[in-house]
Chain A
Amino acid sequence: MTKHLGDASVKFINPPSIISAAAVVGPKEGEGPLAPLFDKISEDILFEKDTWEQAESELMRQTVELCIQKSGLAAKDVNYIFAGDLLNQNSGSVYGARSFERPFFGLFGACSAMGMAMSLGAMLIDGGFANYIVANASSHFCGAEKTFRFPLELGTQRAPTASWTVTGDGAVMLSSNGRGPYVTSATTGAIVDLGQKDVNNMGAAMVPAAADVIAKHFRDLSLPHDYYDVIATGDLGMYGLQLLKQLLAQDGFTATDRLNDCGLLIYDTEKQDVHAGGSGCGCSAAVFAAHYMKQLRDGTIKKILFVPTGALHSVVTIQQGESIPGIAHAVAVES
């Protein structure tokens, strides 16, 4: 257990390098502030397919294909694909990855999927079990609405704390060789549930898990609080981010000014009518692959703690009165 540190962290001895990244998004995200950074913006929310489910799989397929292309490799060079999404039985990832015919691990961690995929991929590479791994996460607004909420055309009003599921996908190619940025350590989140039940305020349900994993990460690795230039959570939204700052500050964390949330970056929260901000597996994945990867490459930032956050409930458990279990995984990336 030489690579395992403290309670829940691993520090890589041969840190895997991120050799390519790709992000593909839908039309609404293409009108957001990060638009120039995405590899591809689909004007068609259906991605030229017939159903929302097919659309998400096509989005996933295109992004992974682009990521492989940008790495200069061929699909057959990829040792494993790790991918997660929000549809039942991970069907967004499964049908998207089908045509690659590569070893595949489907992950469910709700919107924390990209953190899971990058952690597990990096562990496998540092362990010597693979050279090239694609880590991917996707979500589709319409598919998520259909799975978790109401039909799109139903006349409803959203709560101010509700978030907007991102139609988007982010993929990175992890490699045993490369010039960085490197995945240097990771802290795996435990399921944290403080009894929140409001599915229209999932930021609040996920905050305790995010606070827990961030605190553990700094403790396990004995890092100063200002070690990272940015600590980016996945999709806590504007009220969630405030809560997280509050919780961490109460805990004695001094670098709350380094905290930001991917859900606040992908949309213009004032103009795009997304209420609390963006959410979904694709939110953190696309923002990391497009925005933070660029910042790491051009030197705007040198170190980031990427913390995708997930709400692990199902429609059935909520109907049965259960609360929303939260989870968050922290992945450190340094150039």
Chain B
Amino acid sequence: MTAKNYEKLVKEASPKSAVVLNSAKAFLVGGAICAVAQVLYSRIEAMGFSREDTGIMVAGILIVTAILLTALRIYDKIAKFAGAGTIVPITGFANSIAAPAIEHKNEGLVLGVGAKMFAIAGPVIVYGTVTSVIVGLIYYFVR
């Protein structure tokens, strides 16, 4: 049996993830999170806050809620259903920082929580920053 032949057998024998169903669930839950955020935004803005301050407050509320749900062991259960629907919004980012912090608290505040907190979110920050620098440079010269 060659690796190539075996790969073919494995592909035939292994079921794939339900992409369409998972996408629909992600759309619904992700959309719902954004809709809630939009309602919050409108309400807070109506209280007389500037657009910038309102944005920060809404993001803050979503982040704190996601961290709270992570600590209460609810977020992963929602995510099991929602998939990308809970990963893509800012709540997913908060979850990806809170989850390793909880997991590694037994290894201490420095080498556990501090070092491992960004194990998953770190790459997003690094490449997000790198991309923004590249885009910024392009914008500077093309403008």
With A154-B95, A155-B95 in contact, is A246–B9 under 8 Å at CB? yes
Interface residues on A, range: 20 to 34
Contacts of A201 in B (CB 8 A): 10, 14
With A50-B106, A146-B103 in contact, is A154–B14 under 8 Å at CB? no
**Chain B contact residues: helix, strand, loop or mixed:** helix
The 8 Å CB contact of A204, one of B14, B16, B75, B95, is B14
A153-B6 in contact (CB<8A): no
Looking at the complex, which of A121-129, A157-165, A298-306 is the stretch in contact with chain B?
A157-165
Let me know if A191 is at the binding interface, CB within 8 A. no
B15-A161 in contact (CB<8A): yes
Contacts of A146 in B (CB 8 A): 103
- Which of A153, A156, A204 has most chain B Cβ within 10 Å? A153
The 8 Å CB contact of B80, one of A155, A243, A246, is A155
Per-residue 0/1 for B62-76: is the Cβ within 8 Å of any A Cβ (1 yes, 0 no)? 000000001101011
**Nearest residue, chain B, Cβ from A323:** B3
A204 to B120, CA, bound (A): 27
B13-A243 in contact (CB<8A): yes
A247 to B3, CA, bound (A): 13
A204 to B82, CA, bound (A): 27
A155-B79 in contact (CB<8A): yes
Let me know if B7 is at the binding interface, CB within 8 A. yes
The 8 Å CB contact of A155, one of B1, B14, B86, is B86
B3-A239 in contact (CB<8A): no
Contacts of A243 in B (CB 8 A): 9-10, 13
The 8 Å CB contact of B75, one of A155, A208, A239, is A155
Give the size of the chain B interface in residues (CB under 8 angstroms).
Answer: 36
With A157-B83, A247-B1 in contact, is A151–B16 under 8 Å at CB? no
B16-A152 in contact (CB<8A): no
Contacts of A50 in B (CB 8 A): 106
Let me know if A254 is at the binding interface, CB within 8 A. no
B100-A239 in contact (CB<8A): no
Per-residue 0/1 for A236-254: is the Cβ within 8 Å of any B Cβ (1 yes, 0 no)? 0001001100110000000
Let me know if A196 is at the binding interface, CB within 8 A. yes
- Closest beta carbon of chain B to A89's beta carbon, Å: 15
Contacts of A239 in B (CB 8 A): 13-15
- Which of A50, A154, A195, A247 has most chain B Cβ within 10 Å? A154
A304 to B103, CA, bound (A): 40
A96 to B137, CA, bound (A): 57
Per-residue 0/1 for B43-67: is the Cβ within 8 Å of any A Cβ (1 yes, 0 no)? 0000000000000000000000000
Contacts of A155 in B (CB 8 A): 70, 75-76, 78-80, 82, 86-87, 92, 95, 99
Contacts of B83 in A (CB 8 A): 157
A247 to B9, CA, bound (A): 9
- Closest beta carbon of chain A to B121's beta carbon, Å: 10
Find residues 22-53 in chain B having any chain A CB closer than 8 Å to their own CB: 22
Let me know if A227 is at the binding interface, CB within 8 A. no
Let me know if B102 is at the binding interface, CB within 8 A. yes
Contacts of A100 in B (CB 8 A): none
- Which of B75, B83, B100 has most chain A Cβ within 10 Å? B100
A90 to B3, CA, bound (A): 31
With A155-B75, A156-B79, A157-B22 in contact, is A150–B10 under 8 Å at CB? no
Let me know if B17 is at the binding interface, CB within 8 A. yes
Contacts of B86 in A (CB 8 A): 155
Contacts of A154 in B (CB 8 A): 76, 79, 95-96, 99-100, 120
Contacts of A246 in B (CB 8 A): 9, 13
A31 to B111, CA, bound (A): 36
B103-A151 in contact (CB<8A): yes
- Which of B6, B10, B87, B104 has most chain A Cβ within 10 Å? B10
A194-B6 in contact (CB<8A): yes
The 8 Å CB contact of A150, one of B71, B82, B99, is B99
Let me know if A88 is at the binding interface, CB within 8 A. no
Per-residue 0/1 for B81-111: is the Cβ within 8 Å of any A Cβ (1 yes, 0 no)? 0110011000010011011101110100000
| A-B CB contact pairs (8 Å), 8 listed | A150-B99, A152-B102, A153-B99, A154-B76, A154-B120, A155-B79, A156-B76, A157-B80
Which positions in A face B, CB cutoff 8 Å? Answer: 50-51, 53, 146, 150-161, 194-196, 201, 204, 208, 239, 242-243, 246-247
The 10 closest A-B pairs by CB, nearest first: A155-B79, A151-B103, A195-B3, A154-B99, A151-B99, A153-B99, A194-B6, A204-B10, A51-B106, A160-B15
